[in-house]
Structure 1
């Protein structure tokens, strides 16, 4: 039995565990510097993000973490999917697609103009999966990032 539900603060250990598993899959495990406490504060106390939990027979098997952004060109809010992860042994069952369908429903209900996410260039299984759903790569865009040190340096604080 499969279900998707909205995460609650009780799910923080599960969310943190799934984030670490995603980082291992993406070969970025050394980049995980957050903690359960920080996730609880930023997701639930400050409401910076929302999380959907995918469960099979009551056991967590994946998640989607997203937040709202805004498009000045479209003039509407959008959803940015930060992370989508299904544990490897549960892939191929339609759970990732189900999470994306749920996000599309949330976006539609919120009159969002876009649902966007990023994928690592080498992750061809995911790229092909997203294309099969009708998603289009934004090849003409380049993502830029300032890390904590870059923010501090630029701010002068």
Structure 2
């Protein structure tokens, strides 16, 4: 087992993992990412990072994460957006190893937390996370504005007020 950070030449592989995860979650039709967007946002704008885990020469899993900030803690944290291990390699410790590596990175960088979301129906993942000591944040509800709703909300911004900021 070995880890490596994604390079720009890995964009197709990253997209492959994203699509496999979306397929597993029954959300494949929601994937609009493509190699061009991933190259721009991951390697030019550096909005997120990708860590791969390999068995021999085969890349068997990935974790895509970015940094967030906790005002209560006064420091950054790591937000794990995606974690995926190929079905043929599950149960061998790759998922745990990816999470441990991210936890180690968070500690080395002085971050206050490592967090992620998990779909309510995904009991195998819930069991896996709880077995490692993760706690469900059941008192919080996730909200999202995207697509048409994001466009409508953004259109309500007052350009005159923004100039005075």
- Tell me the equivalent position of 1:10: 9
From the CA coordinates, give the structure whose radius of gyration is larger. Answer: 2
**Correspondences of 1:1-150 after superposition (within 5 Å):** 2-150=1-149
CA distance in 1, matches of 2:10, 2:52: 9
Q: TM-score, normalised by structure 1?
A: 0.97
The alpha-carbon deviation at position 151 of structure 1 amounts to 1.2
Q: TM-score, normalised by structure 2?
A: 0.93
CA distance in 2, matches of 1:115, 1:150: 29
Residue-pair matches, total:
156
CA-based RMSD? 0.8
The alpha-carbon deviation at position 148 of structure 1 amounts to 2.2
CA distance in 2, matches of 1:149, 1:53: 34
The alpha-carbon deviation at position 59 of structure 1 amounts to 1.1
Q: Cα deviation per residue 1:4-49 (whole Å; 9 max; x = unaligned)?
A: 1111111111000010000000000001001011001100100000
CA distance in 2, matches of 1:58, 1:101: 21
The alpha-carbon deviation at position 54 of structure 1 amounts to 1.1
Please list every run of 5 or more consecutive structure 2 residues that lacks an aligned counterpart in the other structure. Answer: 157-165
The alpha-carbon deviation at position 3 of structure 1 amounts to 0.8
Moved over 2 A (4+): none
**SS of residue paired to 2:142:** coil
